[in-house]
Amino acid sequence: MRIGVIGCGRHATSVLHPALVHLGFDLAAICARRLSSAQAAAAKFGGGVAYDDPAEMIRRENLEAVVACVPPQVYGRVIRQCVEARLPVFAEKPGAGGTVEASELAAFSADAGVPVMVGYMKRFAPAYRRARAAMADPLFGAPSLATFTFVMGDMGIDFDSYLVDNPVHHLDLARYLLGELYDLHVTRGRSNGGRHALTVAARTDSGAVVSLQLGSTGSWQQHNESVEVFGAGSSVLIDNMDTCVLRPLEGPEQRWSPNYTIPHEANSTFTTMGFGPELTHFRDVVRGAEKCESDIASAARTLALIEEIRAQLGRNGG
């Protein structure tokens, strides 16, 4: 598939560009705010022509789709340019500057019949997919209780930026696994050195009660992520994103994790973290082979949770 990439920041060049090459996408063009950055990325990844203007890239290149990784406030303009040119878009999370903009983009995408996917890669990570499949088994029972932990190392960013960079992932993941969240109760902790900590308690459409422990008070060198969901006697644990443990009501637990010592696609970091599967899914969406599982309309609902967290903390002086 012939694509143009917009964005040459750290995440784009360390994850998205190499993943696209690895998956066999044709990087026809790369665009960045600074032409020198686009030229460097094009030389490194075989990205064809370099641009510093997305509109010019869209106009001049015969693209089939666009992958964008830009600051949140830039997505609106970029996505509109692409949709107007009838180019499907893969936008890294959060996909918009806020709920209102995301909702407007969703309506624009729907009216034009041009798909816009937002990259919440945890939805596509194999361990989380296995957990969701296990939860769909009637023997698991309706979800009753879920705990999410996502604690990273120091990110060196302000609280508002942190919310849309990290906690947004697990809020979206909770929606993916359990349905919509409501009745949020948010508590923010205090920490030294500009690190962040908060807890979120919520109810879900599935009837479960959920707690999320979110922070940047951990270490980049240590375990930082886990999810556990209980049904009616059964439970499933997703440990550090790569291991899924099903504990049925009766019988032994069933454990799955990649075999990292075997150099196979299924064991690669791109696959384990969900980046490869989400981009493959986007390609299938563009080709009409699959319905998008992470569209901009869904991203708007995830961003609404972030805005509710901000509003609660503002009312409570947090």
pLDDT tens digits, 86-102:
999 999 999 999 999 99
How confident is the model at residue 318, as a pLDDT? 65
| Buried/exposed 128-162: b ≥16 CB within 10 Å, e otherwise | bbbbbebbeeeebeebeebebbbbbeeeeeeeeeb
Nearest Cα residue to 15 out of 204, 286, 270, 309: 270
- The two domains 2-120+288-296 and 126-262 share their CATH topology (first three levels equal): no
* Distance, CA of 64 to CA of 114 (rounded, Å): 12
Helical H runs in the chain?
Answer: 10-11, 17-22, 35-45, 54-60, 75-84, 99-112, 126-135, 159-165, 167-178, 269-272, 275-286, 296-315
Mean pLDDT across the chain, nearest whole number? Answer: 95
**Are the CB atoms for 283 and 131 separated by under 8 Å?**
no
CA neighbor of 94 nearest in space, from 73, 64, 66, 65 = 73
120-164 confidence digits (pLDDT tens): 999 999 999 999 999 999 999 999 999 999 999 999 999 999 999
Which residues make Cβ contacts (< 8 Å) with residue 215, sequence separation at least 6? 150, 151, 152, 189, 191, 195, 196, 197, 198
Burial readout 172-201 (b: 16 or more C-beta within 10 A, e: otherwise): bbbbbbbeebeebebebeeeeeebbbbebe
The confidence band for 316, taking pLDDT boundaries of 50, 70 and 90, is: confident
How does pLDDT run across 162-215, given as a tens digit for each residue? 999 999 999 999 999 999 999 999 999 977 778 999 999 999 987 899 999 999
Give the Cα separation of 269 and 289 in Å (integer). Answer: 25
Sequence ranges of the domains in the chain: 2-120+288-296, 126-262
Domain 126-262: CATH superfamily, name plus number: Dihydrodipicolinate Reductase; domain 2 (3.30.360.10)
Residue 297 neighbours by CB distance under 10 Å? 17
The pair of three-digit structure tokens given for residue 90, joined into one six-digit string = 């893969």
Could you read off the pLDDT of 52-91 as tens digits, one per residue? 999 999 999 999 999 999 999 999 999 999 999 999 999 9
CATH superfamily of 2-120+288-296: NAD(P)-binding Rossmann-like Domain (3.40.50.720)
pTM: 0.95
Map tokens 């923010």 to a residue. 188
| Helices assigned H by DSSP within 240-295 | 269-272, 275-286
